[in-house]
Amino acid sequence: MDMLNDPALDAFQAEVRAFLESALPDDLHGAASRATSVFIDPAVTLPWQRILNARGWAAPDWPAEFGGPGWDEMQRYIFAAECARAGAPGLAPMGLKMVAPVIMHYGTAEQRAHYLPRILSGEDYWCQGFSEPGAGSDLAALQLRAIADGDDYVLNGSKIWTTHAHFANRMFALVRTSSQGKPQAGISFLLLDMASPGITIEPILTLAGDHEFNQIFFDDVRVPQANRLGGENEGWSVAKHLLTFERGGRYAPSLIERLERLRTPPISDPVLRARIDREAINLTALQALELKAMRGVGSNPALYASALKILGTETAQRIDVLACEMAGHDAWAEADGQTAPGVAVAVPRYLNDRAASIYAGSNEIQRDLIARLILG
Say if CB 61 and CB 104 are below 8 A apart.
no
Say if CB 259 and CB 276 are below 8 A apart.
yes
- Residue 34 CB burial class (10 angstroms; 0-12, 13-18, ≥19): middle
Say if CB 203 and CB 211 are below 8 A apart.
yes
Rounded to 5 degrees, φ, ψ at 19 are -60, -45
Residue 235 DSSP SS3: helix
Rounded to 5 degrees, φ, ψ at 203 are -70, 150
C-alpha dihedral sign at 360, 364, 367, 372: negative
Q: How far apart are CA 229 and CA 177, in angstroms?
A: 13
Within 10 angstroms of residue 206's Cβ, the number of other Cβ atoms is 16
Question: Is position 82 annotated as part of the catalytic site?
Answer: no
Residue closest to 53 by CA, chosen among 127, 126, 124, 104 = 124
Within 10 angstroms of residue 155's Cβ, the number of other Cβ atoms is 25
Name, in order, each residue with C-beta under 8 angstroms of 158's C-beta and a sequence gap of 6 or more.
132, 133, 144, 215, 216, 217, 218
Active-site position among 132, 246, 279, 290: 246
Name, in order, each residue with C-beta under 8 angstroms of 29's C-beta and a sequence gap of 6 or more.
86, 87, 88
Say if CB 104 and CB 66 are below 8 A apart.
yes
Q: How far apart are CA 135 and CA 361, in angstroms?
A: 11
Residue ranges in the chain assigned as alpha helix (H): 7-23, 31-34, 42-55, 73-86, 93, 100-106, 109-121, 235-247, 252-261, 270-294, 301-327, 341-352, 363-375
Question: Which active-site residues does the annotation give?
Answer: 246
